[in-house]
Structure 1
Amino acid sequence: MDKPIKVVIVDDHQVVLDGFIARLQTEPEIEVIGSACNGVEAIEVVKALNPDVVLMDVSMPLMNGIDATSVIKESMPDVKVLMLTMHDNREYIMKVMQVGAVGYMLKEICARRMVQAIKTVYQGSTYFCESVTQTLFSQEVVPVAQKPNPLSRREEAILKLVVEGNSSKKIASLLNISYRTVETHRQNIKHKLDLHSTGELAKYALEQGIVA
């Protein structure tokens, strides 16, 4: 990596905030460039510092992390937001995905996995810690009555791999097709579904039974 990944950490508990900063300060590939203690402050800090990745607490005063993420993604869509929380439940996870966050992990996550999560989302994939993945995908999802699925089988296969956190490069390798072909399929999927965030695509895939 030519330059460190610029990270902003948002949490309303100073002890937790200090702990996360201490975890990451020893990582040469990661640079913590700022912090905030609520959603309103988070928006200001992110706009001022333009980080690569934001570690965002969910429950905070003034503005929660979900609403703050929605505002950040509207004005700065390239910023990757990883949600940090104590809440391991489906409702929170689905809300997070809907506002455009690309990952969800519990605060108890070890330092090694936290670093892995930051690198994963920075490279364009999604990251959900193991317990969150189990919560998200192990429960039965009742398909929603809606329009017929407009995707081809190839597009469904690519959507499934995207939702599972694979990069376009990895998908190209797995399906033995070119990177450009994968990118074309991804754009076609978004156009057909009129969905633009990874979270929205994941929600659609769940509702349609493309991922189980």
Structure 2
Amino acid sequence: MNDLPGPIRLVIVDDHSLVRDGLRARLAVVPHLQVIGEAASGAEALALAAADPPDLMLIDVGMRGMNGIELATALRARHPEVRVLMLSMYDNREYVLSAIRAGARGYVLKESPTEEILSAISAVCGGGSYFSAQVSDLMLQLGATVPQLTAREHEVLLLLAHGRSNKLIAKELDISVRTVETHRFSLRRKLGVDSASELLKIAVTNGWTTL
């Protein structure tokens, strides 16, 4: 299940056309998915996000030029509403850790069956996270290092970190002030901090935004 009102609109980002074509073919038959674009580079992906932000970007970690980690970091800073699901050939701990710190909500190996990729898309678009079974054991090691936040908590954190008031956040996200207060309480519980400066430090340290 996902928390979006309509079909999931996604963009495939990979510097190999064969990979993009293969992914598009695998996803095209799924009724609730809409592949609205493809990008062969980080710069192309950022341009697409600026013109028409998708719900989700499927991003290759190891692209040449701006790699997937750098792209995810840029998206987190410029378009925090765009969810990121990483695709990779590697289950290396550092890749996974860097992806999470950059704001990715999921990490799936390219060799994964279509069903698993679909499960990952649904989980990420439902406000959760998803990691391939091959890298799930790494998450136990990462859990103490990287705060596990929901999609909405990420959005609220970034707005708080940049000095927005509860009232302004409620207006920007089209939610109630009480809901913002609930998310803020959850962030305080998970992160142990509440001030804008402390939240900004955490966001920068984890690659969720830049100064």
1-side partners of 2:51 and 2:88: how far apart? 24
Shift, 1:62, TM fit: 2.2
**Aligned partners of 1:34 and 1:49 also within 8 Å:** no
Q: Deviations over 1:68-101 (max 9, x none)?
A: 1111110111110001010111011111111111
Q: Deviations over 1:130-153 (max 9, x none)?
A: 11112342x6x8x89xxxxxxxxx
User: Measured at CA, do residues 79 and 180 of structure 1 come closer, stay the same or move farther in structure 2, by a change above 3 Å?
Assistant: closer
1:49 aligned residue (32, 49, 52): 52
1-side partners of 2:152 and 2:71: how far apart? 26
- Kindly, what percent of the aligned residue pairs are identical? 36
1:134 aligned residue (129, 134, 137): 137
Indicate the residue corresponding to 1:119 in structure 2.
122
**1:1-212 matches, cutoff 5 A:** 2-137=5-140, 162=148, 183-188=183-188, 189-190=190-191, 192=193, 194=199, 195-196=202-203, 200=206
TM-score between the two structures when normalised by the length of structure 1: 0.70
TM-score between the two structures when normalised by the length of structure 2: 0.70
1-side partners of 2:42 and 2:54: how far apart? 16
2-side partners of 1:166 and 1:69: how far apart? 14
2-side partners of 1:106 and 1:40: how far apart? 23
Indicate the residue corresponding to 1:149 in structure 2.
none
Q: Deviations over 1:152-186 (max 9, x none)?
A: xxxxxxx7xx56x8999xxxxxxxxxx99963542
Unaligned runs of 5+ residues in structure 2 are 154-178, 207-211
186-195 vs 44-53, which deviates more?
A: 186-195
Q: What one-letter code is carried by the residue in structure 2 that aligns with 1:95?
A: S
Q: Deviations over 1:24-55 (max 9, x none)?
A: 10111110000101111111122222100000
1-side partners of 2:47 and 2:181: how far apart? 38
Indicate the RMSD between aligned Cα atoms, in angstroms: 3.0
Runs (4 or more) in structure 1 with deviation over 6 Å come to 165-168, 179-182
